[in-house]
Amino acid sequence: MTQTTTEIISTKMNPNVIPHLHIWEWHIPLYLFLGGLAGGLLVITAVMIVIKRHFGIGPRDEGEGCPCLAVRVGSALAPILLGIGMLFLFLDLANKFYVWAFYTTIQPTSPMSAGSWILIAFFPMAILQAMLVNKQFLRNMNIGIVNKLIDWTENRLTLVALLNAHIGIGIGIYTGILLSFFYARPLWSSSILGMLFLISGISSAAALMLLFAPNHEKPIYSKIDANALWIEMVVVGLFILGGITGPANTSGAMMHLIAGDYQMAGMSYMLWFWGGFVALGLLIPMFLEFLEAVGVHIRFPLVAPVLVLMGGLLLRFLIVFAGQTYHTFM
């Protein structure tokens, strides 16, 4: 028998607030995933361009300063994926007719306001990079304005890429900051969340590029991915440690995630986290890519990148959901 008990009766009944927050469903995790992926793609492609043009390192140039295929496709995918992500973000808005309100003000303390402007800044630069790296393809289409734009900017690709590397990092971190500013939700209230989402975005982006890169380009992305996963492991470890060693709010929230029996799609958070994310999304692909690097070729080379992508998606779902189902800051 317990020594003392607390009985609380409350008349509170607001849907999606009681018994716990349930304001964000699949839209937001998917948006965060696609945002992270777009950010990661931008970072990788930009860095590839810069190191190739500046240091001469990297995959074979395919003529006239057009980087390798993976960079070209990756650059084009970045704004597309972010656009899809933003569509989900829009779908999540409860008052869609007022979406314009984001762009009639700057709220300096609101990460979401900052984010809505960053997203706007992302597109011109990302699209410019996509155009410049695909200029041969575009020139063939011979669209007047496009040609002019390419003529005007093609000599500045390095600069564009350099800027994009920063924007990509910004977007990646932003997807985490978006949540970590909510100190009312103890799981999210961790400044390492920005780094975690950034690195997870990079590992996912590398995995994605690994999927469509031609065989001769694959080893590069496999290495990037393996390294990103390794860093991600460390960041996840820090995230967990920072949580469980924190005060009651933080440690409770972390335990809710890593040892919680709360169900998501019929399975407990604990199983999803350790089995789904850590084992399948991090450890196994890292191991597979390590094998690949030391020259042991496996029969299904696509397994590792697909697992990484699923792990990245799962991480967003877990964080978004477990952050809501745990109680508010006490």
Per CB under 8 A, residues contacting another protein are 1-18, 21, 23-24, 92-99, 101-102, 104-105, 107, 109-113, 115-116, 181-185, 188, 324, 328-330
Residues 6+ apart with CB under 8 A from 103: 116, 117, 120
Burial-class residue 48 by CB neighbours within 10 Å (0-12, 13-18, 19+).
buried
Residue 264's DSSP bridge partners are 267
Collapsing DSSP to helix, strand or coil, 264 comes out as strand
Rounded least distance, CB 54 to another protein, Å:
37
Rounded least distance, CB 104 to another protein, Å:
8
- Pick between residue 227 and residue 251 the one whose CB is nearest to another protein: 251
CA distance 167 to 41: 11
- Pick between residue 20 and residue 216 the one whose CB is nearest to another protein: 20
Collapsing DSSP to helix, strand or coil, 87 comes out as helix
Residue 15's DSSP bridge partners are 18
- Pick between residue 265 and residue 330 the one whose CB is nearest to another protein: 330
Collapsing DSSP to helix, strand or coil, 169 comes out as helix
- Pick between residue 10 and residue 215 the one whose CB is nearest to another protein: 10
Contact (CB, 8 A) for 305 and 207:
yes
CA distance 139 to 172: 32
- Pick between residue 105 and residue 142 the one whose CB is nearest to another protein: 105
Rounded least distance, CB 185 to another protein, Å:
6
- Pick between residue 2 and residue 142 the one whose CB is nearest to another protein: 2
Residue 165's DSSP bridge partners are none
E strand or H helix at 177: helix 157-180
